[in-house]
Amino acid sequence: MSGAETSVRPASTALPEPAPDPVVEVADLEVDFAVRGAIGHAVRGVSFQIRSGEAVGLVGESGSGKTVTALSLLRLLPDRTTRVRARSLRVAGVDVLGASAASLARLRGGAAGVVFQDPLRALTPTRRVGSQIVEVIERHSGRSRTQARLEAVELLSRVGIPDARNRARDYPHQFSGGQRQRILLATAVASHPRLLIADEPTTALDVTTQSQILDLLLDLQQDLKMAVLLISHDLGVIARVCDRVLVMYGGRLVETGSTSDVFRAPGHPYTAGLLRSIPRLDRPGAVTSAIPGEAVDGFTQVVGCAFVPRCSLAAPVCTECPELEDVTPGHQAACWRSELVT
Amino acid sequence: MTDSGRPILSVQDLVVYRGKGVHQGNSTVGKDALRVVEGVSFEAAAGETLGIVGESGCGKTTLVHAVLRLIPYQSGQVIFEDVDLGGVSERKLRSLRRDLQVVFQDPYSSLHPRKLIGKILSEPLELHTDLSAKARERAVISLLNDVGLGASFAQRFPRECSGGQRQRVAIARALALRPKLVILDEPVSALDVSIRAQIIELLAQLQRDRGLTYLFISHDLALMRSFCQRLAVMYLGRVVEYGPSDVILHRPSHPYTRSLLASMPIPDPEVERRRNRIEVRGEIPSIRTPPSGCTFHPRCNYAVDRCQVSEPMLEVSDAGVLSRCFFSSEVAAQPPLDDARSSDAPPEPVVEEHLFERS
């Protein structure tokens, strides 16, 4: 994809520096899954790159393939029921589809950390939180136990757990939801990963807590120069955190670009419709309007553009599937009629 | 405040305990019981939408359950259409509940998975009316049409429907007995973003057509600004701010409301970049160990010694709303979302002013 050639960092930080290798490189990702004998297509040809230090948002409805795409990056989908294919699937230099079990294990929780929505399920309930972080540090850095313990306490304190030295000895259930998400972030970054995948990390949290966790996520990203892939249904969260955004619909990427470009002048009718359907605090009285109809799932046979049944701009040409094309440099949309999108 | 109609629902000084030793029809509670709702008062006028906003643990769910009298309350009053629900018999309560319905957040757990939708919708009619089977069938079809589903859905099971369709069924069920008041408990939070606006449009349409009163519980302040006429902001079992939603969400008079507003991300990267943040310290304390004085003081940027020892009353602020804060006038006088003390960047008053200006 050519979108990655354009710098999307804010102007103030755009120093002339050699472009680092992309941390994530995905080309033509296809994910099929089997449920009760039927074959579904969760991801139908997705390509993108994420460079180090870049925060990329992944947006889409349930069933759009966003979580499946993210899980594929680390081969976290069950092998028995899913089939992942790609022309290229590289994360932190590892060829994910060709990698041995051992190098996949090193990648997961090593060069790539993961944070999920529900920290209570992601943390081991019967182990002290400190030792869960120590384990990550030992495994991926080869530090001594003593050194790793010191680092774990430092890290807990870094993510905002007060009295970290004592609290490291507590179990996950002894923390509040917000604190557990902080601890999970600490576990995810303990190996100094090059990529952090965060799947709806704040969806289960209250708004004031969400705000704190997003600030922490941004701080950690800056400190560690990580690439971040943030999956969220909340366009406000994406606007706040991400430099660039990928919009998925029906298993395909339908729009990509800098968050500023995509949110200000969307090139796909789905993105435009989403933005129009959300009431905004700063625009009281502005009229919102819903997108009619329902999203397709992976079992629906789609001919052409999957958004056609809900699209007010649909035309005969839309029976052919549009590819991503430049709307402006670095901003692409998969729509035959993107110049008509308002 | 809107005086468009007489209050259809009036809640006065409601106190609700939960936990051990709390029993229906018994006003005494055990010593381990928790005071979850602490003297809450509000009114909903006929035909309007009253919003209740607050984070987890603020007591809004307990409040709803008490208003529906699904759980007992220990003191105060819930007056629905001039009848005090606290004093009525179970029998009378049953008939009152026809007028008082509820739609829950999760349409996946609120509908019986093994019942046809036609059955789900005709059940309340069987229980509460003497309509003939034919008449019930006609009523079900008309309900399905009213919520935008169509007659064919009567022959489907909930599992054959999407989340949005299920929520339409839940709304149809709530409307089956032609209620006057509907409690909407986070009715769109579990739905996809593109479906939320559809359901909100449907709810607004039904309210216009049927003159419904809504009690709308949500944490989405942007949605509440457009959907609710009046708002009650709750924190740790208390109402901390109460008044017209467009005033409260433009010029809040309580520091907690301000922090909620500042925490809501706005789907516009340019606006997000320019916004000044108010840091909200810490987390919501447990209701088991509520802080002394004003319960918000440990997290509050305005707190002084006095706030640790005495609890402020709900009083009219300079913005004309009720606020439970000694500094409500100072808070209301702040430019919208501009708090220089906690911002490391110099405030940009021009930008911040326009941020919350009415267009």
Distances (CA, A) of A91 to A104, A196, A237: 10, 11, 24
Q: State pLDDT tens for residues A297-329.
A: 878 888 899 999 999 999 999 999 999 999 999
* Least-confidence region, from A16-20, A83-87, A144-148, B223-227: A16-20
Tell if the CB–CB gap between B356 and A179 is shorter than 8 Å: no
Domain boundary among A190, A205, A232: A190
Question: How many structural domains is chain A composed of?
Answer: 2
A16 part of a folded domain = no
Q: How far is B273 from chain A (nearest CA, A)?
A: 7
Alpha-carbon span A309 to B342, nearest angstrom: 48
Mean pLDDT to the nearest integer, A228-248: 96
pLDDT above 70 coverage of chain B, percent: 89
- Report which DSSP code applies to A301: -
Q: What is the pLDDT of residue B163?
A: 92
More confident call, B18 vs A129: A129
Q: How far is B172 from chain A (nearest CA, A)?
A: 18
Domain boundary among A170, A190, A210: A190
Which tokens sit at A66? 């966003």
What domain range is A328 assigned to? 258-340
A329 part of a folded domain = yes
pLDDT of B91 higher than 50: yes
Alpha-carbon span B87 to B92, nearest angstrom: 10
Tell if the CB–CB gap between B246 and A284 is shorter than 8 Å: yes
B6-42: b (≥16 Cβ within 10 Å) or e: ebbbbbeebbbbbeeebeeeeeebeeebbbbbbebbb
Q: What is the pLDDT of residue A204?
A: 83
Q: What is the pLDDT of residue A203?
A: 87
Domain boundary among A143, A169, A190: A190
Chain B contact set for A208 (CB, 8 A): 55, 259-260, 263, 280, 283-284
Tell if the CB–CB gap between A239 and B196 is shorter than 8 Å: no
Helix spans in chain A (H): 66-72, 101-107, 119-122, 129-141, 145-158, 164-167, 177-189, 207-224, 235-241, 259-264, 269-277
Q: What is the pLDDT of residue B108?
A: 83
pLDDT of B2 higher than 90: no
Q: State pLDDT tens for residues B299-356.
A: 999 999 999 999 999 999 999 999 999 999 999 998 776 333 333 343 333 333 333 4
Mean pLDDT to the nearest integer, A22-33: 96
Distances (CA, A) of A75 to A49, A72, A135: 17, 5, 22
Tell if the CB–CB gap between A237 and B55 is shorter than 8 Å: no
Task: Count residue pairs from A and B with Cβ separation < 8 A.
Answer: 141
A46 part of a folded domain = no
A2 part of a folded domain = no
A33 part of a folded domain = no
Site from A62, A174, A179, A207 to mutate, B interface, most B CB atoms within 10 angstroms: A207
What is the identity of the amino acid at B283? E
Q: What is the pLDDT of residue B24?
A: 58
DSSP string, A166-221: HHTTS-GGGS-HHHHHHHHHHHHHTT--SEEEEESTTTTS-HHHHHHHHHHHHHHH
Q: How far is B309 from chain A (nearest CA, A)?
A: 25
Q: How far is B112 from chain A (nearest CA, A)?
A: 22
Q: What is the pLDDT of residue B107?
A: 85
Tell if the CB–CB gap between B268 and A281 is shorter than 8 Å: no
Q: State pLDDT tens for residues B229-275.
A: 999 999 999 999 999 999 999 999 999 999 999 999 999 999 888 88
Q: What is the pLDDT of residue B339?
A: 33
pLDDT of B283 higher than 90: no
Chain B contact set for A215 (CB, 8 A): 277
Q: What is the pLDDT of residue A10?
A: 44
Q: Would you call A143 helix, strand, or coil by DSSP? A: coil
Q: How far is A51 from chain B (nearest CA, A)?
A: 20
**In chain A, how many H helices and how many E strands?**
11, 13
pLDDT of A166 higher than 60: yes
- Report which DSSP code applies to A78: -
Q: What is the pLDDT of residue A103?
A: 94
Give the chain B residue whose CA is nearest to the CA of A291.
B194
Give the chain B residue whose CA is nearest to the CA of A204.
B56
Give the chain B residue whose CA is nearest to the CA of A161.
B282
Q: Would you call A34 helix, strand, or coil by DSSP? A: strand
pLDDT of A2 higher than 80: no
Average pLDDT, chain B: 88
Alpha-carbon span A254 to A269, nearest angstrom: 9
Nearest Cα to Cα of residue B251 among B316, B315, B321: B321
Nearest Cα to Cα of residue B279 among B202, B341, B190: B341
Q: State pLDDT tens for residues B120-167.
A: 999 999 999 999 999 999 999 999 999 999 999 999 999 999 999 999
Tell if the CB–CB gap between B266 and A281 is shorter than 8 Å: yes
- For helices A269-277 and B193-210, give the axis angle rounded to 10 degrees: 50
Site from B194, B226, B231 to mutate, A interface, most A CB atoms within 10 angstroms: B194
The minimal CB distance from A239 to the residues B225, B227, B272 is found for: B272
A184 part of a folded domain = yes
pLDDT of B23 higher than 50: yes
- Report which DSSP code applies to A297: -
pLDDT of A282 higher than 50: yes
Confidence label for A153 from pLDDT (cuts 50, 70 and 90): very high
Tell if the CB–CB gap between B359 and A286 is shorter than 8 Å: yes
pLDDT of A45 higher than 90: yes
Chain B contact set for A179 (CB, 8 A): 283
A302 part of a folded domain = yes
Q: How far is A55 from chain B (nearest CA, A)?
A: 13
ipTM above 0.90?
A: no
pLDDT above 90 coverage of chain A, percent: 78
Tell if the CB–CB gap between B55 and A208 is shorter than 8 Å: yes
A223 part of a folded domain = no
pLDDT of B21 higher than 80: no
Nearest Cα to Cα of residue A281 among B103, B355, B181: B355
Chain A contact set for B355 (CB, 8 A): 282
Confidence label for A20 from pLDDT (cuts 50, 70 and 90): low
Chain B contact set for A288 (CB, 8 A): 197, 226
Q: Would you call A25 helix, strand, or coil by DSSP? A: strand
Q: What is the pLDDT of residue B337?
A: 60
Distances (CA, A) of A22 to A65, A90, A91, A93, A94: 22, 9, 8, 9, 12
Alpha-carbon span B4 to A217, nearest angstrom: 47
Q: What is the pLDDT of residue A9?
A: 42
pLDDT of A15 higher than 90: no
* Least-confidence region, from A218-222, B34-38, B122-126, B274-278: B274-278
Mean pLDDT to the nearest integer, B78-93: 90
Tell if the CB–CB gap between A278 and B225 is shorter than 8 Å: no
CA distance from start to end of chain A: 25
The minimal CB distance from B164 to the residues A233, A259, A294 is found for: A294
Which tokens sit at B307? 């706030």
What is the identity of the amino acid at A337? R
* Least-confidence region, from A55-69, A75-89, B85-99, B294-308: B85-99
A199-227: b (≥16 Cβ within 10 Å) or e: bbbbbbbbbbbbbbbbebbeebbeebebb
Alpha-carbon span A228 to A185, nearest angstrom: 12
